[in-house]
Amino acid sequence: MKAVRIHEFGGPEVLKLDDIERPVPAADEILVKIFASGVNPVDWVVRQGGNNFLRPALKLPLTLGWDTAGIVEEIGSNVTGFKKDDAVYGVPNFPGNGSYAGYVAAKANQFALKPQSITFNEAAGIPLTGLVACNALFELGKLQAGQRIFIHGASGGVGSLAVQLAKAKGAYVIGCASTSNQEFLKQLGADEVIDYKTQQFDTLLQDMDVVFDSSPLRDDTERLKGIRILKNGGIFVSVNIDFPFSDAVKEALAQKNAKGELLHLQTNHQYWLTEMARLVDENKLKVIISKVYPLEQVAEAHKESATWHVRGKLVLEVRKEKQPLKNGKMKIIVTGSLGNISKPLATELSSKGHSVTVITSKSDKQKDIENIGAKAAIGSIENLAFLTATFTGADAVYCMIPFSFTAIKQDKYFQKIAENYVQAIKDAGIKQVVILGGWASDIISSYGINDIFNELSSIAVTELRPGPFYSNFYGNIKMIKEYGAIMAGYGGEDKIAFVSPTDIATAAEEALTTPFQGKKIRYVASDELTCNEAARILGEAIGKPDLKWITLPEEQVLNGLLQSGIPPQLAADLVEMQMKIHSGIVYESYLRNKPVLGKTKLKDFATDFAAVYHQ
């Protein structure tokens, strides 16, 4: 089998991918076929030779890695709690031969059944950091419901789990992290968040029952601050066993009649692993995977871990997980919040039994998302780590890039979002992707985003190219009331392939759930009309049967967009699109790729339009 081992201590260059014999389980052990292994700071600490606590136990050559998830391949003669083919996760043999390998043999009591609702990659991010958090909070910190806890380093691998575990216990949780991680901690459930870059927690907090220092910082000043905010008789817990309590720290603890604890060993492995699996399956605990690396890129994973700026966990994928769909049901990510397409798409997918997560930047949308049977992932598509964590474990993703009315350089904005999508799709192992484009995508510059998405060469990708949305007409209501007409850079007898967002959602649903290989482009339309025909249909619905659609000169369209606050580059691009539509070449291209028209005609939409118009 393949195994990443070290034959000497040193930098990432000492990591070697060796071929070695598969281990044989002892009587009290199980042999686990490894699918994934978590990467933790202790891995590269051991690689460098360990600290004073670990060094005496290290024997070369050594297989690193003590976070794993996989399937039971064999069981020892005295093992009764597992059977062959059980999906398990655990902490094997720390600090002996570990899980950067195809198989590992370890004591059965170091494992528990894997959470059923997550992938092996996700499960491998829990055991070691989760056990550290459980032991720190509950074994040493004695944390109880209703108590107040302050967690230093709350956005890291240990801290992010500790926040959720403390909340699940019923504690009041205050987390501390950098500016960029404030919203992230709120999503995890923190009641309050302290920004260590701009705020001094020791001047803001007091009377904490427990202070948990999961930060990698070895600094007496920070420890003394943590003790300062404890209540009399409180408990201070640190994970940094290589940094013993100084006399000053011991004196400060004594003055508070407080207890100081260093977490030397994790205990009750199976109990806490089982408890965490339950919380995961009840959706009360989520592991945040920052990035997934193939086993061969272990050196890169170590370098990333050593930056100390990883949000959540890094994972090595040892072998690909085959994920046969249960009764045809899939895990699908929908971007675009509850927009014109995303809402009907998520609703339709959920109604068919798929597990749907909707990405939104607005926390007030969570309830509405849950009401349509989906889960909310609150964050920004401009945040690559958030995207990767959300995409991890999904089968398919619907990607759309909204216009930015604040970005000065639209090309840079679009390229950044496209690059984030592509990287997150690759890192998360997504197999099927739907991208929302436009019916003029092959005529008008798309800022190079098509080239970026073309990097997804080994993934099934469908690009949807819909015409102008019916819902865009809502934006013309004020114009109709003030000027008695619809006006744009195209109009009159220009022919347009209008489309209902519901028909786009139907096309997206089919593309997301129908297996195929390669890349395809699908145009989407509902009704082929001239602009005047469209205006007449809408006009009749609102009591203005003579409503006209007037074509404006290019300069007038541009000035109108600029006066309404549209950034110059975006305004210029919108004008270019309107002029190309007016020229007829966009419709000619559409006719060469003419699709079967959708079910929802403009007359159907006109009823809804009239209701809004008369409000």
Provide CB contacts within 8 A for 401, sequence distance 6+.
381, 414, 417, 418, 421, 436, 449
Q: At 407, is the pLDDT very low, low, confident or very high (cuts 50, 70, 90)?
A: confident
Q: Which residues pair with 212 in a beta bridge?
A: 151, 237
Q: Is residue 324 predicted with pLDDT exceeding 50? A: no
How much is the pLDDT for 445? 63
DSSP single-letter state for residue 108: G
Q: Is residue 279 predicted with pLDDT exceeding 60? A: yes
**In angstroms, rounded to a whole number, what is the distance separating the alpha carbons of residues 100 and 9?**
16
Burial of 48 (0-12, 13-18, 19+ CB in 10 A): middle
Q: At 322, is the pLDDT very low, low, confident or very high (cuts 50, 70, 90)?
A: low
Q: What is the pTM of this model?
A: 0.55
Q: At 328, is the pLDDT very low, low, confident or very high (cuts 50, 70, 90)?
A: low
> Over the stretch 165-181, which tens digit does the pLDDT of each residue have?
999 999 999 999 888 88
Provide CB contacts within 8 A for 426, sequence distance 6+.
455, 456
Pairing of strands 396-399, 432-436: parallel
**In angstroms, rounded to a whole number, what is the distance separating the alpha carbons of residues 463 and 436?**
6
How much is the pLDDT for 419? 94
Tokens 């919203």 locate to: 183
How much is the pLDDT for 276? 96
Q: What is the CA angle 329-335-339, rounded to 5? A: 110
* Paired tokens of 385: 């780590």
* Paired tokens of 111: 């494992």
CA dihedral 487, 490, 493, 494 (to 10 degrees): -150
The secondary structure of 68-101, three-state, reads: EEEEEEEECCCCCCCCCCCEEEECCCCCCCCCCE
CA dihedral 200, 206, 209, 211 (to 10 degrees): 10
Work out the average pLDDT over 396-419. Answer: 86
Q: Which H/E stretch holds residue 5?
A: strand 2-6
Pairing of strands 313-317, 29-39: antiparallel
**In angstroms, rounded to a whole number, what is the distance separating the alpha carbons of residues 162 and 357?**
24
Q: Is residue 312 predicted with pLDDT exceeding 80? A: no
* Paired tokens of 5: 């081992």
Side-chain-side CA neighbours of 113 within 13 Å: the count stands at: 13
Q: Which residues pair with 103 in a beta bridge?
A: 33
> Over the stretch 536-568, which tens digit does the pLDDT of each residue have?
999 999 999 999 999 999 999 999 889 888 888
| Cβ contact 123:393 at 8 Å | no
Pairing of strands 87-90, 62-63: unpaired
Work out the average pLDDT over 316-325. Answer: 73
256 CB neighbour count, 10 Å cutoff:
18
DSSP single-letter state for residue 469: B
**In angstroms, rounded to a whole number, what is the distance separating the alpha carbons of residues 613 and 604?**
15
How much is the pLDDT for 182? 87
> Phi first, then psi: what are they for 113, rounded to 5°?
-65, 135
Residue type, 54: L
- What are the structural domains, with CATH classification, of the chain? 2-126+287-317 (3.90.180.10), 129-262 (3.40.50.720), 331-613 (3.40.50.720)
**In angstroms, rounded to a whole number, what is the distance separating the alpha carbons of residues 42 and 586?**
58
- E strands, 91-220, in order: 103-107, 111-113, 148-152, 172-177, 192-195, 208-213
Provide CB contacts within 8 A for 478, sequence distance 6+.
none
* Paired tokens of 409: 């350089």
Question: What angle, rounded to 10 degrees, do the helices at 342-351 and 501-513 form?
Answer: 50
**In angstroms, rounded to a whole number, what is the distance separating the alpha carbons of residues 354 and 334?**
12
How much is the pLDDT for 447? 63
How much is the pLDDT for 325? 46
**In angstroms, rounded to a whole number, what is the distance separating the alpha carbons of residues 100 and 181?**
30
Residue type, 594: K
* Paired tokens of 124: 């491998």
How much is the pLDDT for 327? 57
| Cβ contact 295:353 at 8 Å | no
**In angstroms, rounded to a whole number, what is the distance separating the alpha carbons of residues 541 and 180?**
49
DSSP single-letter state for residue 484: S
